[in-house]
A and B are shown apart, each in its own frame.
Chain A
Amino acid sequence: MGEKVLLEVHGLRTSFFTDDGEIPAVDGVDFFIREGEVLGIVGESGCGKSVTSLSIMGLLPKGIGKVVGGEILFKGENLVEASERRMKQIRGNEIAMIFQEPMTSLNPLFTIGNQLVEAIRIHTKIGKKEARARAAEMLKLVGLPRAAQLLDEYPHQLSGGMRQRVMIAMAMLCRPALLIADEPTTALDVTIQAQILALMKQLNQTFGTAVMMITHDLGVVAELCDRVIVMYAGQIVEEGSVRDIFRNPKHPYTIGLIRSIPDIRGKKERLYSIPGQVPKPGAIRRGCRFADRCEWVVDRCRHEDPLLYETSEQGHRARCFLALEREGLVDERAAARSERA
């Protein structure tokens, strides 16, 4: 992992403009990814994880979704202001993306080979034969057997796990500096999940590709990531190294998420889940957005917007008054509660 920053997002705000008015899906998000780093982005459904990644790729639904503020600096270049022509050069070449649904993410009417060769030849001026050879090589690299044959097969002839490997191969073809993976294992069964995660870790180490790993599963974060960002209702509520976040979570939402990780050994305990639901974007105009679900809510939380405060640990920040005022106390409280329970 290098020290150089690859991607810097400052004050990103992305809205959808629908018949119901403006929906602020991402509402002031700041983060960065270093070269070769694996950054996890976690949060429940609807927190704005996918919208953040689509904003980076410039792939928001046309005419509806729009970046309304902030900047996205990739190698120093602001992608928010980049032309579509420039974005086409970047997509798939410098920033690649894989998605949640391997079953539907490949075009059913074209062979695997056609879709891989296309991905190479958009960005590299090489012949079809050479591109095919490179595609076959990449299929081997992602652990697919009989690569040469696979090139002539159609997506429906492959299992979900195989298709996700093909997607990963496609994403890695041009050796991108950043790979955005939007819940790449959610749709797969557990053993395949573990294999795909191991593959991504391996590719990250072999090629030095930075990975932005979007997931709602903290288990995946623990497995794969260096740092983690926790998102809630379009904002970042906590940020830190994986080690700090697991050992010493500051934000009540993060604490809740950690408590809801299923224990692999313990079958007896009922699975904890945070009560309530993520508020709709724009629903809460004042105060902490987590207040309605927070066990430690105080008066101030409802009137004032908490900021992303620095903590005593380096690079560990949390958006919570409690974390600000009672550094270190959060853990004891949580411990006390779980003892009582």
Chain B
Amino acid sequence: MLSYVVRRVLMVIPVLFGMSLVVFFMIRAIPGNPAQVILGQKATKEAVAALTHKLGLDQPWYVQYVKYIGGLLHGDLGESIRTGAPIAEEIWPYLAATIELSLAAMLIAVIIGVNAGIISAWFQNSWFDYIAMVLALIGVSMPIFWLGLMEQWLFSIQLDWLPTSGREDVRNPIEPITHLYLVDTLLSGNTDQFWQVVQHLVLPSMALATIPMAIIARMTRSSMLEVMKSDYIRTARAKGLSMFWVVYKHSLKNAIIPVLTVIGLQTGLLLGGAILTETIFSWPGIGRYIYDAIGYRDYPVIQSGILIIATIFIFINLIVDLLYAIIDPRIKYN
């Protein structure tokens, strides 16, 4: 087990290198001199040359790459052209906002999606199954921006139950510690603010949860149906085990394996920053941060933002693989 974990973790290193190389060249493949683009057509030759030099773009690419990697290894992501601040510091609040929202959305999606899939499979062809699967079908093809707007209209404007947008009540701002507000309000012991944060999370996380929830429910159902046909499930029944335990112990552990892949993929997609949802709900997340950087041609920010999102993707993949190994004893031996 341990050797598998070590091997799997070490495998991440070349992947990270490869990815950094791809991102590096991707940014440099954008046509035109970035300094020129940033400064505009009317800029003087001297100004462009100065900025080119400042960005290090006058050096050969391998020198640039080594510097860039060297910086990364020290946790240095460069500086934002727009603000002049170190990106490594500037980016965290945005990333934290996205992490909080994505994890809340995935929690909802997994709890409801997995259980709906299980019950649909258990009571195949029942009214529950039909309704859940019709909803899931609608869910996967739901335009999320529209759903978000409808949520706001119903729950905020008409019913006035929940705030329309943002992460916090501006009249009662939160003192950031980790920038994960659920954690921060708990750390400072302010339960009022904690509930405010929860209320702000409800609508955007429900909107974001919709598609993953629908995909997870469908995947869980089909995987469960497959597993429940297997011989070892018949054995479990023949022992006198109740359907509840047959389903939630013997079937689920086997059926969840392919679902984990989907959960990992969907988490990665959400963490990549759901720009549309973040925009509708004025959520100050990483998606908005990068989007704004694109508008300003802030190349170092774009580069670092993409790098971080890709890194998160790779690590989620790693976690999923390690979970496989924990769940399935057969993996360690081959």
CB distance from B127 to the nearest CB of A (A): 14
From A97, A104, A109, A154, B238 is in contact (CB under 8 Å) with A97
Shortest Cβ distance from B327 into chain A, in angstroms? 6
A107 vs B253: C-alpha distance when bound (angstroms): 10
Do residues B231 and A101 form an inter-chain contact, with CB atoms below 8 A?
A: yes
Which residue of A has the minimal Cβ distance to B242? A88
Knowing A63-B124, A63-B125 are in contact, say whether A108-B232 is a contact too (CB < 8 A).
Answer: yes
Per-position 1/0 for B225-257, Cβ under 8 A of A: 000001110111111111000000010011000
Given contacts A63-B124, A91-B240, A122-B240, contact A105 B235 (CB under 8 A): yes
Q: With A108-B254, A108-B328, A156-B329 in contact, do A90 and B240 touch (Cβ < 8 Å)?
A: yes
Contact in complex: B329, A154 (CB < 8 Å): yes
Q: What total of chain B residues lie within 8 Å of the partner, measured CB to CB?
A: 22
CA of A92 to CA of B235 in the docked complex: distance in angstroms?
9
Q: Name the distance in Å between B334's Cβ and chain A's nearest Cβ.
A: 10
Type the 1/0 row for B206-237, where 1 means its CB is closer than 8 Å to any CB of A.
00000000000000000000000011101111
Q: Does B7 contact A (CB under 8 A)?
A: no
Residues 90-136 (chain A) with a chain B CB within 8 angstroms:
90-93, 96-97, 99, 101, 104-110, 118-119, 122-123
Cross-chain pair count, CB within 8 angstroms: 68
The answer to whether A107 touches B239, judged by C-beta atoms less than 8 angstroms apart, is: no
With A63-B124, A156-B329 in contact, is A93–B235 under 8 Å at CB? no
B330 sits at the interface (CB 8 A): yes
Contact A91 B238, beta carbon cutoff 8 Å: yes
Question: Which residues of the other chain, B, contact A118 by a CB distance below 8 angstroms?
Answer: 239, 241
Is the CB–CB distance between B240 and A154 below 8 Å?
no
Cα of A90 to Cα of B240 in the assembled complex, Å? 7
Q: Mark B321-333, 1 if CB is under 8 A from A, else 0.
A: 0000001111001
Q: Which residue of B lies closest to A100 (CB)?
A: B231
A153 nearest in chain B by CB position: B329
Q: Evaluate contact between A107 and B238: CB separation under 8 angstroms.
A: no
Q: How far is the CB of B56 from chain A (nearest CB, A)?
A: 53
Q: Which residues of A contact B125 (CB under 8 A)?
A: 63
Q: In whole angstroms, how far apart are the Cα atoms of A104 and B242 in the complex?
A: 20
Interface residues as binary, A163-194 with B (CB distance below 8 Å gives 1, 0 otherwise): 00001001000000000000000000000000
Whose C-beta in chain B lies nearest to the C-beta of A61? B229
Residue of A nearest to B254 (CB): A109
In the complex, what distance in Å separates the CA atom of A279 from the CA atom of B326? 48
Whether A167 contacts B235 by the Cβ 8 Å rule is yes
Given known A-B contacts A109-B328, A154-B330, A104 and B240 have beta carbons under 8 A apart: no
Task: Check: A195 CB closer than 8 A to any chain B CB.
Answer: no
By the criterion CB–CB under 8 Å, are B234 and A59 in contact? yes
Contact B235 A122, beta carbon cutoff 8 Å: no
Most chain B CB within 10 A, of A63, A96, A118, is at: A118
**Inter-subunit contact A122/B124 (CB<8 Å):** no
How far apart sit A154 and B241, CA to CA, in the bound complex (Å)? 20
B interface secondary structure, majority? helix
Task: Assess whether A57 is interfacial by the CB under 8 Å rule.
Answer: yes
| Chain B residues closer than 8 Å to A101, beta-carbon distance | 231
Contact A156 B235, CB 8 Å, known A90-B240, A118-B241: no
A183 to B152, CA, bound (A): 62
A88: B residues at CB distance < 8 A: 240-242
Q: B239: shortest Cβ distance to chain A, in Å? A: 4
Q: How far is the CA of A57 from the CA of B232 in the complex (A)?
A: 16
A159 within 8 A of B: no
How many residues of A sit at the interface, in one of the four size bands?
A: 20 to 34
Task: Output the least CB separation between B230 and chain A (Å).
Answer: 6
> Does A202 interact with chain B (Cβ within 8 Å)?
no
List the B residue with the shortest CB-CB distance to A104: B231
Minimum C-beta distance from B142 to chain A (A): 31
For B236, the chain A residues whose CB sits under 8 A away are: 107
In the complex the two chains form, what is the Cα distance from A157 to B94 in whole Å?
A: 49
Q: How far is the CA of A337 from the CA of B239 in the complex (A)?
A: 49
- A89 contacts B by Cβ under 8 Å: yes
Q: Please, which residue of chain B has its CB at the minimum distance from the CB of A154?
A: B329
A57 and B238 in contact, given A105-B232, A106-B232, A109-B254 (Cβ under 8 angstroms): yes
> Which residues on the B side are within 8 Å of A154 (C-beta)?
329-330
A119 — which chain B residues lie within 8 A by C-beta? 239
Contacts of A104 in B (CB 8 A): 230-232
Which chain B residues border A106 with CB–CB below 8 Å?
A: 232, 235
* Residue in A92, A99, A107, A167 whose Cβ sees the most chain B Cβ within 10 Å: A107
Min CB gap A11→B, angstroms: 25
Structural contact, B327 and A92, CB atoms closer than 8 A:
no
Q: Are A99 and B234 in contact (CB under 8 A)?
A: yes
Contacts of B231 in A (CB 8 A): 99, 101, 104-105
Which of B327, B329, B330 gathers the greatest number of chain A CB atoms within 10 Å?
A: B329
Cα distance A97–B328 in the bound complex, in angstroms: 26
Q: A99-B234, A156-B329 are in contact. Are A107 and B240 (CB under 8 A)?
A: no
Residues from 19 to 65 in A contacting B, C-beta threshold 8 Å: 57, 59, 63
**Are A92 and B238 in touch, CB under 8 angstroms?**
yes
Q: Which residue of B lies closest to A59 (CB)?
A: B237
Name the 5 nearest CB pairs between A and B, nearest first: A92-B240, A92-B239, A91-B240, A104-B231, A107-B232
Q: A90-B240, A122-B239 are in contact. List 14 more A-B contacts (CB 8 A).
A: A57-B238, A59-B234, A59-B238, A89-B240, A91-B239, A99-B231, A104-B232, A105-B234, A105-B235, A108-B254, A123-B240, A156-B330, A167-B235, A170-B239
Please list 13 pairs of residues, one from A and one from B, whose beta carbons are closer than 8 Å in the complex, sorted by A's number: A59-B234, A88-B241, A97-B238, A104-B230, A104-B232, A105-B234, A107-B232, A107-B236, A107-B250, A107-B253, A108-B232, A110-B250, A119-B239
